Structure 1
Amino acid sequence: MRNIAVAEIEDDPRAVLPIATDYPPGFLLGWHEHRRAQFLYAARGTMVVDTDDGTWTVPGERAVMIPPGKRHRVLMDDVQTASLYIEPDAVTWWPRSCVVVAVGALLRELLLAAVEFPADHRPSPRDDALVELLLLELAGLTPVPLHIRLPTSPALRALCREYLLNPRVEVTNADWAREAMLGERSLVRHFTRELGISPSAWRRRARLLSAVPLLREATVSEVAARLGYATPAAFTHAFTQELSMSPSTLRPTR
């Protein structure tokens, strides 16, 4: 099924509904939720998934597992998706919060085959086996750390949301304390108590995550300079330490 809304087939008795959708650059899929669990795969492009408690960055060849009933929105950057909408009873092991995962060759081909099912599809034994194998593959996926949590405090959350839109290296704890009308020590104490990391560490992670979509078009050197790193080597080291992968692995093959 291609480019149809899941709401149009919500009552379909199949446990797994595969849908492929194409999105133009800069398309924002506003706040919504699904009754079913969602496996949202980016065959091309980059997605940024927001929930009330965090942000997940999903480059091409990765996917995000979204729990049923989880309110979220998605910023699409020239994305071609392959989604699975799954009855919760079929995936009782599904994670309780969003998780980004890498998608290997077998799972990718299974997804691309499944989304070719027509809307009025009546499954055959082969198709049932394909869906069963899909679910087995999903159950064995390993998370990759392409997310950042948000504070629960409205004032601190507002600072973080604003920073995610414009992650400037020159922003300091003093700037945030002034905006939140707190002392600098008080800001650090409240922030660390909520998230377990300091505001400066949070901002560093946010800047490195902002590099993920940039790496689709820009070189590592260009991204390093844009984010305020003195050398590409310094950026690569920080990126690898924070996100457990090299920035070069996110560069598209030409």
Structure 2
Amino acid sequence: MEKLTESRLKTLHEEHVRNLARMEQSNEDVLVHSTDVPGGYTVPPHHHRRTQFLCVFSGVVLVATDRGRWMIPPGHALLIPRGLEHSVEMYSDVSMRSVYIYSPEGRAAAREPVVLEVTDLARQLIAEALRKGAVAEDRVRGELVMALLLDEIGRLQERRLGLPFPASGRLAGLCRDFVAQPSPAAKIDDWARRLNMSRRTFTRFFRQEMGVSFVTWRQQACLFACLPRLAAGEPVTRVALDAGYESVPAFTTMFRRMLGAAPRAYLTNREAA
């Protein structure tokens, strides 16, 4: 990865500020933007007046809001509602494309972030929309490409890569510790005891605070910790054992349930796309 000096960080921040200002001043209903960002850089908290479709072509990014965290691996995108403040952390060198949509209908009207699996058609349409001079050469064709892209975004399948996260309190501390060192063997009773709650009270409290069960959240958090390492090319066996799984098959079963494919097949397909 590129070494981020203070000068380089300042340049990246200035570029982000300029791009954000340019997009916010535009009157276009749909804007498409291409970005290549070095690993280790975090886009500071900001928001848009358009809904953002943030599509990752390579690398892994983490988008954080006060509503939760979303891990975006290659071949996926996060739909970020207009007006929602968010930051974007690059877990590796990242190549991403963003579609900014100013519309009160369809997925652009979403009120909550959602991770979507990006199809080959969506990727090709984004590439065509970005092609230099495409709209200037043939505005009718450009409008058709944009219309088809918006329709395709509305058809993309959701993936459970969001991780609810409490804003503060003792539960937030437990969640942060777990994300730093996840284990599929973590038990409800242990967490309940650390918060001085009964198992029943903790189970109810956790679901109220997070919107999902403890077991579901634990699985998602474990997957979060594994994705950047897998995308970086680390062996599946090492990642699985480090994550606390007793065997690769057990890890593969969890991964397939969450992402629809085994780790090797999934990452090969995503990076080749």
| Short-chain TM bin | 0.7 to 0.9
With over 3 angstroms needed to count, the CA separation of the structure-2 counterparts of 1:194 and 1:245, relative to structure 1, is: farther
Match of 1:164 among 164, 172, 179: 179
CA distance in structure 1 between the partners assigned to 2:174 and 2:263 by the alignment: 27
With over 3 angstroms needed to count, the CA separation of the structure-2 counterparts of 1:121 and 1:14, relative to structure 1, is: farther
The CA deviation at 1:197 is 4.6
With over 3 angstroms needed to count, the CA separation of the structure-2 counterparts of 1:123 and 1:83, relative to structure 1, is: farther
CA distance in structure 2 between the partners assigned to 1:211 and 1:242 by the alignment: 12
C-alpha RMSD of matched pairs (Å):
2.9
Counterpart check, 1:226 vs 2:242: yes
Structure 1 counterpart of 2:141, which letter?
R
- More displaced 10-residue stretch of structure 1: 152-161 or 43-52: 152-161
More helix by share: 2
Identity of counterpart residues, as a percentage? 33
Would you say the 8 A contact 2:72–2:115 is kept in 1?
A: yes
1:180-232 Cα offsets, whole Å, 9 max, x none, are 4x235343341134345543542233112322222111122121111111111
CA distance in structure 2 between the partners assigned to 1:5 and 1:13 by the alignment: 14
Would you say the 8 A contact 1:152–1:194 is kept in 2?
A: no
- How many correspondences in the alignment? 251
Q: Counterpart of 2:63 in 1: which secondary structure?
A: strand
Match of 1:69 among 68, 80, 83: 83
- More displaced 10-residue stretch of structure 1: 92-101 or 140-149: 92-101
Match of 1:32 among 32, 39, 46: 46
1:6-36 Cα offsets, whole Å, 9 max, x none, are 3223221211111101111122122221111
Match of 1:212 among 224, 227, 232: 227
1:130-173 Cα offsets, whole Å, 9 max, x none, are 11111111121121122222346633234323422332457554
CA distance in structure 2 between the partners assigned to 1:81 and 1:238 by the alignment: 27
With over 3 angstroms needed to count, the CA separation of the structure-2 counterparts of 1:151 and 1:68, relative to structure 1, is: same
The CA deviation at 1:177 is 4.4
With over 3 angstroms needed to count, the CA separation of the structure-2 counterparts of 1:200 and 1:61, relative to structure 1, is: closer
Would you say the 8 A contact 1:21–1:82 is kept in 2?
A: yes
The CA deviation at 1:248 is 2.5
CA distance in structure 2 between the partners assigned to 1:91 and 1:234 by the alignment: 38
The CA deviation at 1:106 is 1.6
**1:12 corresponds to which residue?**
26
With over 3 angstroms needed to count, the CA separation of the structure-2 counterparts of 1:92 and 1:144, relative to structure 1, is: closer
Would you say the 8 A contact 2:164–2:211 is kept in 1?
A: no
**1:105 corresponds to which residue?**
120
Match of 1:147 among 154, 162, 165: 162
| Contiguous gaps of at least 5 residues in structure 1 | none
Structure 1 counterpart of 2:221, which letter?
A
Q: Tell me the TM-score normalized by structure 1.
A: 0.85
**2:251 corresponds to which residue?**
235
